[in-house]
């Protein structure tokens, strides 16, 4: 299939990439641009490990075509880091609360909850649970993830 060139804006930086129309945003971010914080977990939009923000809204990278992201702002979790790799306050809360075990789900958890807090301010614990149903974690049992998100929302 013919490749076409598109410009992807990821974490504020423009990338010119050649893609075929069926390439997913996940494939291009992970394999072409080397963004290891966007991860294949299921390819069905069920687990949320490939979550990125598209113009601020969380989407599954495995269900989004790369060509659909052209012209939009893509943010991965590493895009939240400050100068010199300093942690975003939400990442600080994840660190302090032990909200990562294997860490594979962490980018999706951080981006989805950040979007929730930006939209509603101080969500209840139940609202956070609801927002995270598309982000699965098999290690932590969720409690420490919820604790971390609540701590950030309280700040």
Q: Is 144 in the site for other proteins (CB under 8 A)?
A: yes
Q: Which residue, 71 or 119, is less far from other proteins as judged by CB?
A: 119
Contact between 60 and other proteins (CB under 8 A)?
no
Around Cβ 103, how many Cβ atoms within 10 Å? 13
> Among all chains, which residue has been given the structure tokens 């980018």?
107
79 neighbors 13 (Cβ within 8 angstroms): no
For β-strands 51-54 and 57-60, DSSP reports them as: antiparallel
Least separation in angstroms between CB 72 and other proteins: 20
Stretch 86-125: interaction string toward other proteins, x if CB under 8 A: -x---xx-xxx-xxxxxxxxxx--x---------------
The binder of other proteins chosen from 2, 85, 121, 154 (CB under 8 A)? 85
Which x/- pattern, by CB under 8 A, does the window 6-45 give for other proteins? ------------------------xx--x-xx-xxxxxx-
Q: Are 128 and 150 in contact (CB under 8 A)?
A: yes
Separation of alpha carbons 23 and 18, rounded Å:
10
Rounded (5°) CA angle 122-123-125: 125
Nearest residue (CB) to other proteins, 120 versus 139: 139
> Which secondary structure element, helix H or strand E, spans residue 104, and what is its range?
none
Contact positions vs other proteins (CB under 8 A): 30-31, 34, 36-37, 39-44, 46-47, 49, 76-78, 81, 85, 87, 91-92, 94-96, 98-107, 110, 128-130, 132-133, 135-147
């Amino acid at each position: 299939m013919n490749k076409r060139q598109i410009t992807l804006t990821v974490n504020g930086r423009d990338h010119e990439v050649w893609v075929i129309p069926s390439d997913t945003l996940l494939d291009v971010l992970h394999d072409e641009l080397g963004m290891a914080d966007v991860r294949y977990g299921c390819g069905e939009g069920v687990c949320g490990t490939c979550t990125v923000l598209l113009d601020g809204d969380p989407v599954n990278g495995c269900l989004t075509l790369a060509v659909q992201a052209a012209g939009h702002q893509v943010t991965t979790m590493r895009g939240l880091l400050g100068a010199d790799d300093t942690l975003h306050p939400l990442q600080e809360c994840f660190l302090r609360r032990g909200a990562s075990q294997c860490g594979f789900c962490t980018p999706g958890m951080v981006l989805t909850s950040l979007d929730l807090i930006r939209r509603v301010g101080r969500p209840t614990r139940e609202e956070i649970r609801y927002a995270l149903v598309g982000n699965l974690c098999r290690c932590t049992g969720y409690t420490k993830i919820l604790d971390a998100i609540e701590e950030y929302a309280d700040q």
